Amino acid sequence: MGHNAVQPSTLMSDFLRQCGGYAVIDGGLATELERHGADLNDPLWSAKCLISSPHLIRKVHLDYLEAGANIIISASYQATLQGFEAKGLSKEEGEALLRRSVEIACEAREMYHNIGCKVSWDATGNGEILKQRPVLVAASVGSYGAYLADGSEYSGIYGDAVTLEALKDFHRRRVQVLAESGADIIAFETIPNKLEAKAFAEILDEEDIKIPAWFSFNSKDGVNVVSGDSISECASIADSCKQVVAVGINCTPPRFIHGLIQAIGKVTTKPVLIYPNSGETYDAERKQWVQSAGVGDEDFVSYVGKWCEDGACLIGGCCRTSPNTIRAITKALSSRSSSATTIQF
């Protein structure tokens, strides 16, 4: 994988088949970088590490691969040309950093596959290569609210001045650069409202983007996306866009996921993906994650079986989840998967 000629319509179904029906998405990237000591108190958030510590990003990708992830998401969530420009970087330097985010993920995949390639021999001299787990690299595109770095991706309220055209202009070049970066898929993540979903769908169409994409929304009530727009309407936009090969929810507490999967399933037959956060809430003013009032520490993994029964087939974690979360998801999904793991010769 890693080339750009795959038909959007078959990439995801082929991949899911190779994975045995269920695929594991990685866990939180930014919060895991922080756990390793990175200071992300910056408008660029995790994208700051593209400049200061790319090796740490690669290590976290590798940790997630070792925990069983089939999809790793690049560190470009809050990497925008406008954000880099505000740091004094040129357009060319900004574009190079966007490409670098995908390269780092591809390097981690290569390292993982090189370490993991094992041959076993039986007594008669026949060999068996343990088949490499399929791994996709997803190029993250965070919402406009993420660029604002004031928590607006959890309110979805951008104000009347931010029109559809303004959002398209904001995102267009980044999407073009990431589409040509060697990524397998673009992950539009934490989409907080309908307008932004529409902007992404129109960019994919108008710019003739050659790789497929997924749309992932976030919710804070289990009924609507965070802005209050209906999840059905948001998911329908994703459903109508031919480049979109999966639709779902990320960075949302686990307890809200069940109803959202059902609502999405009513408006699309595309694969449903979910990668919830740990259940904590982000306090944008204090810039920290806090346990929501009245909610105990949710046991994320106890939900996985239920989410599969609801119809989700790509499952991972978002903020404050870790390689341990992903290891547990991998274990829970492997009992459901039907994949052959060896090639005989």
- Please state, in angstroms and as integers, the Cα–Cα distance from residue 254 to each residue in 11, 309, 339, following that order: 28, 15, 27
Among 251, 304, 312, 328, binds Zn ion (CB under 5 A): 251
What does the per-residue mask of binding to ligand MET show for 231-260, with x meaning CB under 6 A? --------------------x---------
**Does residue 56 contact residue 33 with C-beta atoms inside 8 Å?**
yes
Which tokens sit at 277? 């956060």
**Does residue 317 contact residue 325 with C-beta atoms inside 8 Å?**
yes
Q: What's 134's DSSP letter?
A: P
Q: Which is nearer to Zn ion, 23 or 251 (CB)?
A: 251
Name the one range near ligand MET by CB under 6 A: 26-34, 55-63, 165-173, 326-334. Answer: 26-34
229 vs 237: CA distance, rounded Å: 12
Least distance to ligand MET, CB of residue 152, Å: 11
Residue 18 sits at the vertex; the CA angle it makes with 17 and 24, to the nearest 5 degrees, is: 90
195 vs 160: CA distance, rounded Å: 11
Would you count residue 73 as binding ligand MET (CB under 6 A)?
Answer: yes
Q: Which is nearer to ligand MET, 284 or 336 (CB)?
A: 284
147 vs 37: CA distance, rounded Å: 22
Q: Are strands 244-250 and 213-217 parallel, antiparallel or unpaired?
A: parallel
Give the closest residue to 314 by CA, choosing from 69, 58, 61. 69
Number of H helices, E strands in the chain: 13, 13
Among 23, 30, 139, 141, binds ligand MET (CB under 6 A): 30
Among 101, 140, 193, 219, binds ligand MET (CB under 6 A): 140
Among 15, 22, 64, 77, binds ligand MET (CB under 6 A): 77
What does the per-residue mask of binding to ligand MET show for 185-224, with x meaning CB under 6 A? ----xx----------------------------------
Name the one range near ligand MET by CB under 6 A: 23-31, 36-44, 266-274, 330-338. Answer: 23-31
What does the per-residue mask of binding to ligand MET show for 41-60, with x meaning CB under 6 A? -----x--------------
Which tokens sit at 168? 């398209």
Least distance to ligand MET, CB of residue 127, Å: 39
Least distance to ligand MET, CB of residue 332, Å: 20
Among 11, 16, 19, 28, binds ligand MET (CB under 6 A): 28
In the region spanning residues 316 to 335, those forming contacts with Zn ion, defined by CB under 5 A, are 318-319
Find all residues with CB under 8 Å of 294, minimum gap 6, and list them: none
**Does residue 213 contact residue 191 with C-beta atoms inside 8 Å?**
no
Chain position carrying tokens 């090796």: 55
Return residues touching Zn ion (CB under 5 A). Answer: 251, 318-319
The residues of the shown chain that bind ligand MET, judged by CB under 6 A, are 28-30, 46, 73, 77, 140, 189-190, 251, 318-319
